Amino acid sequence: MEAGAGLCNEEAVRVLVKEGITDIQNLLSLGVPFDRKSSGLLEAGLEGGHHRRRILHAKGDATGREIVNALYEKAACQDNITFMFGTFFVDILNDAKGVCGAVVYKNGFHLLLCRSIIICTGGIGRLYTRTTNAEVSTCDGHAAALRAGARLKDMEFVQF
């Protein structure tokens, strides 16, 4: 809480602390190669603002990539999950019950029917002139969520 300078959502921190160990065990079972000491134990690092070593890394600074790769490998085996790479997310469609579909663009517009959506469209860094963010970090997913009535939180936190 102290490292968050008073900006942390206390309930979210409670959930993270309570479920974090189980989540790490699940990621390990999926093959995430967290860095280890020579003894074989997980190597916990100390990050800015922290007083205890509790941060795990995978292949040094490639933690995010390694977690995404492991999750993708697991999800790609599921018959009810479809990945649409290189696709522009245009809009979320709603009906009286809530989400009912999405409009995407890849070589033309496509309608996808669904009852829920996980938006994984990247960040917003390309809204700024100077950034190292990927070319696809254009905030389109955030904008579609806003148009559909979603509430966004902590949008001022941008990594350049």
Q: What is the pLDDT of residues 100-141, one digit of tens each?
A: 999 999 999 999 999 988 888 888 888 889 888 888 888 889
Residues 66 and 92 in one domain: no
Residue 143 falls inside a structural domain: yes
Residue 83 falls inside a structural domain: no
What percentage of residues in the chain have a pLDDT greater than 90? 59
Beta bridge partners of 99: 94
pLDDT tens-digit profile of 79-91?
Answer: 988 888 888 889 9
Contact 123, 141 (CB under 8 A): no
Residues 16 and 65 in one domain: yes
Q: Domains in the chain: how many in total?
A: 2
Return the pLDDT at 156: 85
| Domain membership of residue 41 as a residue range | 10-75
Show which of 75, 102, 120 is a domain's final residue.
75
Beta bridge partners of 103: 91, 111
DSSP state of 46: -
Q: Which amino acid makes up residue 91? A: D
pLDDT tens-digit profile of 138-158?
Answer: 888 999 999 999 999 888 887
Residue that has been written with the tokens 């009810």 in this structure: 80
Residue that has been written with the tokens 């938006």 in this structure: 119
Return the pLDDT at 84: 85
Residues 64 and 97 in one domain: no
Which element (helix H / strand E) includes 142? helix 140-147
pLDDT at 159 over 80: no
Contact 137, 122 (CB under 8 A): yes
Question: What does the block give as tokens for 71?
Answer: 């999750």
